[in-house]
């Protein structure tokens, strides 16, 4: 490896004279910094707002605590206070959201990886339809916009008595998540050569063991991607949570949005927004290192 480095540097040196290379670097970092500000600024603003109270907001924009406004933790404590004492009592919806999103993600991952493995490894025939058609059938579920699906789902859940229940919402989420999992995982399974399955079968595995001891570990990056997509969708879904649950079950996104309805408590809103992205941030950090692919480099020889 290291033996190649100087040569590569030299090639780059020839391609780009010193001055040009410097300019390139400056532009690159300028662009990255601009993007970072663009992404991070809303969070900083939300953070700062969450410590404000009325005077800090009505008089126009203020930014710097202690100088421009008097910081208070009222916005944060309101998250956990009862509605009767001016709070929004966020624990309940938070827990509901967590449960619904984790369960629906787990179910979708379990069923989706099995389905994707089957589609990647076996040939199915249903009349004139084959594997690709079945895969497309899965993905086609996501072609329709949620707004079109909401009313059928509503009627379906009412008919089965699952309206406004955790289970009903979980089922709907699983239906929405399965296509994503299948789509991502079929691609990953297809990159794993079938010889690995066969070697495992000859080595003493039954097909199930071959799947979870040999094939699945080699698709870990795919599982990570699928998990992330599932959690992001189910955690931040607003539309179905709003239309399919309303009284007994309350989920986080509608709860936060409903804060907007009467007098807007900007500080609590900001604080709850920050708290609600927290799980996603944690998951992103935990899973980050798995996102780098390359486990398969040794499988296929050139």
Query: CA torsion sign, 221 to 223 to 226 to 232?
Result: negative
What is the nearest approach in angstroms of another protein to the Cβ of residue 212? 12
**Structure letter (DSSP) for residue 144:** S
204 binds another protein (CB under 8 A): yes
21 binds another protein (CB under 8 A): no
290 binds another protein (CB under 8 A): no
Token reading at 189: 């399974």
95 binds another protein (CB under 8 A): no
* Single residue of 209, 248, 258, 260 touching another protein by CB under 8 A: 209
**Helix, strand, coil percentages, rounded to 5, for the chain:** 70, 0, 25
Contact 246, 116 (CB under 8 A): no
User: Stretches 67-75, 152-160, 244-252, 293-301: which one binds another protein (CB under 8 A)?
Assistant: 293-301
Site for another protein in 176-195 (CB under 8 A): 193, 195
* Single residue of 42, 59, 130, 217 touching another protein by CB under 8 A: 217
Position of tokens 């100087």? 6
Q: How far apart are CA 100 and CA 199, in angstroms?
A: 39
127 binds another protein (CB under 8 A): no
* Single residue of 57, 150, 196, 277 touching another protein by CB under 8 A: 196
Q: Please report, for residues 64, 238, 245, the alpha-carbon distance to residue 255 in angstroms, rounded to integers and kept in the order given.
A: 29, 10, 11
Report the interface residues with another protein, using CB under 8 A. 193, 195-196, 198-206, 209, 213-214, 217-218, 220, 295-301
């Amino acid at each position: 490896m290291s033996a190649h480095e100087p040569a590569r540097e030299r090639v780059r040196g020839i391609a780009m004279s010193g001055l040009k290379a410097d300019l390139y670097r400056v532009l690159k970092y300028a662009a990255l910094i601009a993007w970072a500000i663009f992404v991070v600024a809303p969070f900083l603003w939300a953070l700062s707002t969450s410590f404000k109270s009325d005077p800090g907001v009505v008089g126009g924009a203020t930014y710097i605590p202690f100088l421009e406004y008097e910081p208070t933790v009222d916005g944060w404590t309101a998250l956990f206070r009862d509605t009767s004492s001016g709070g929004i009592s966020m624990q309940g919806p938070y827990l509901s959201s967590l449960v619904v999103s984790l369960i629906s993600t787990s179910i979708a991952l379990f069923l989706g990886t099995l389905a994707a493995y089957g589609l990647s490894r076996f040939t199915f025939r249903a009349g004139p339809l084959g594997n690709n058609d079945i895969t497309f059938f899965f993905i086609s579920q996501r072609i329709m916009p949620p707004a079109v699906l909401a009313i059928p789902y509503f009627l379906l859940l009412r008919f089965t008595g699952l309206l406004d229940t955790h289970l009903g919402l979980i089922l709907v989420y699983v239906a929405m998540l399965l296509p994503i999992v299948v789509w991502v995982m079929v691609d990953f399974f297809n990159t794993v050569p079938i010889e690995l399955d066969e070697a495992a079968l000859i080595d003493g595995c039954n097909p199930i063991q071959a799947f979870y001891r040999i094939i699945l570990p080699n698709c870990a990056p795919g599982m990570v991607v699928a998990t992330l997509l599932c959690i992001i969708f189910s955690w931040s879904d607003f539309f179905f949570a709003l239309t399919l649950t309303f009284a007994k079950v309350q989920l986080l996104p509608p709860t936060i949005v409903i804060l907007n309805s009467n007098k807007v408590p900007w500080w609590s809103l900001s604080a709850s927004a920050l708290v609600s992205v927290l799980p996603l941030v944690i998951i992103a950090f935990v899973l980050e290192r798995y996102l780098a692919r390359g486990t398969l480099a040794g499988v296929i020889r050139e």
